[in-house]
Copies of this chain bind each other. A is one copy, B any other.
Amino acid sequence: MPGDAQWLEREELATWMSLAALLFKLPGVLDYQLQRDSGLTHFEYLVLAGLSESPGRSRRMSDLAGFANGSLSRLSHVVKRLEQRGFVERRPAEDDGRITVATITDSGYEFLVAAAPGHVATVREYVVDVLSPEQLAQLKDIADTILAKVDPGKDC
C-alpha cells in the first residue's frame, strides 16, 4: 500500500533493489578474482592487510576482527587456516594471557604483496574507476551513514 510506512515508495524500492543487487554481486566479483589469482578470500585478504599495516605487523584478535568486519569466531577459524599455510602466527600477550596477538610472517607478507596489485586493480575496475570523484565522495558519506546505524560505536 503506497504511502504507508510499512511499504516502500517506488523510488525507495528501486534504490533498495539496486543496492541489494550490489550486495549480492560485488562480493562475488572480488572473491572470484582473489580466489583465482591468489587463493585468498576477500576476508583473508583484509586480515593479512590489517596485520601488514599494523605496528610490529601484529594485532590482537578482537581488533583485527573489527578491522576486517567479521566476528571473532570467523576470524579465529580463518587465522587458524592462515597459520596452517604459514602466513600468520599466534601467541598470547605477555601482560594479559587472555589476549591473542596475531602476526603476519615474512612469507605471509610476501604473499600479500604479490596479491595486492590484482586486488587493487579489481577494486579500481569495478568501483573506483567507474565512479566520478563526486560519486566517490557521495558513496563514502552514504556508506558511513548506513554503517553508523548498522554498527554504532565503530568509527563515528
Tell me the A133-155 residues at the B interface (CB within 8 Å).
Answer: 133, 135-151, 155
* Copy count, this protein chain: 2
- Contact in complex: B121, A11 (CB < 8 Å): no
* A11: chain B residues within 8 A (beta carbon): 133, 136-137, 140
* A149: chain B residues within 8 A (beta carbon): 125-126, 130
Among A19-27, A86-94, A99-107, the stretch in contact with B: A19-27
21 contacts across the A-B interface (CB closer than 8 A): A1-B124, A1-B129, A3-B129, A8-B124, A12-B128, A18-B140, A18-B143, A19-B143, A21-B147, A21-B155, A22-B23, A24-B68, A26-B146, A127-B146, A130-B148, A130-B149, A131-B145, A135-B142, A135-B145, A138-B142, A139-B142
